[in-house]
Amino acid sequence: MVSHTMFLSARRLAHGAAVVAGYAALGLSLLITFEVIARKLFNFSLQGVDEIGGYVLAIGVSFSFAYALLHRAHTRVDVLMTRLPVLLQAPLNALAMLLLAGFSLFMLWRAVETLKETLEFGSLASTPLQTPLWIPQSLWVIGLGVFALFASLLALRALWLLALGRLTSLNVEFGPRSAQDELDEAREDYGDSMATTATQEGKQT
């Protein structure tokens, strides 16, 4: 099933994709700022900034789905979950993961069908840029594909843990995030940043 090494590799890939999406959003904000200033002061417009913004958001969000999944950041209603016994929590967590994987595959299927129609008709954006829609849609499909792949792998792992009767491990890996989980992650991130700072200072000296 999903080994620890594979999970770490997937986490690095998702993290890298999320970082790229974040920088793309930052670049978009700078572009919008320039557009606003240019319109206000120089009566000049780049044309198509809103179109580019739509592409950046759609593609960035699709790649960020995988990052949110691996960090258990997707919203879950867990008011009753934490009050249930472990024997009930485990199958519900496995079911939640299975449903998320199914939904991710459904989104990927519909995105692929949309891309097929775009390629068939050679669709262009009805904007001044006349962007060939297969370009942003291809990146959008790739992002959803990565999300669907990770969701399917994790769903298989959840079912595997359930079949083996490793209910505690299943709940730890796939249950809603607790305050302690967030605290541990914050400590880990702080330790990594301190280690990076120490390494940089050591190189400078």
The whole-angstrom separation of Cα 101 and Cα 150 is 8
Question: Is 190 a residue whose pLDDT tops 60?
Answer: no
Q: Are 50 and 125 in contact (CB under 8 A)?
A: no
**Domain ranges within the chain, ordered by starting residue:** 4-75+82-191
Q: Give the tens place of pLDDT for each residue, 95-134.
A: 999 999 999 999 999 999 999 999 999 888 887 788 899 9
Structure tokens at 112: 């692929």
Residue 160: its pLDDT value, please?
A: 93
Question: Is 171 a residue whose pLDDT tops 70?
Answer: yes
Question: Which pLDDT band, with edges at 50, 70 and 90, does 181 fall under?
Answer: low
Residue 144: its pLDDT value, please?
A: 93
Helical axes 134-164 vs 4-42, angle rounded to 10°: 150
Q: Give the tens place of pLDDT for each residue, 33-86.
A: 988 898 888 888 777 888 888 899 899 889 889 888 888 877 777 777 777 788
Residue 107: its pLDDT value, please?
A: 96
The contacts of residue 111 (CB under 8 Å, 6+ apart) are 137, 140, 141, 144
Q: Are 174 and 93 in contact (CB under 8 A)?
A: yes
pTM, rounded to two decimals: 0.78
Between 87 and 190, the more confident residue is 87
**Nearest in space to 126 (alpha carbons), one of 54, 25, 59, 35:** 54
Q: Are 62 and 51 in contact (CB under 8 A)?
A: no
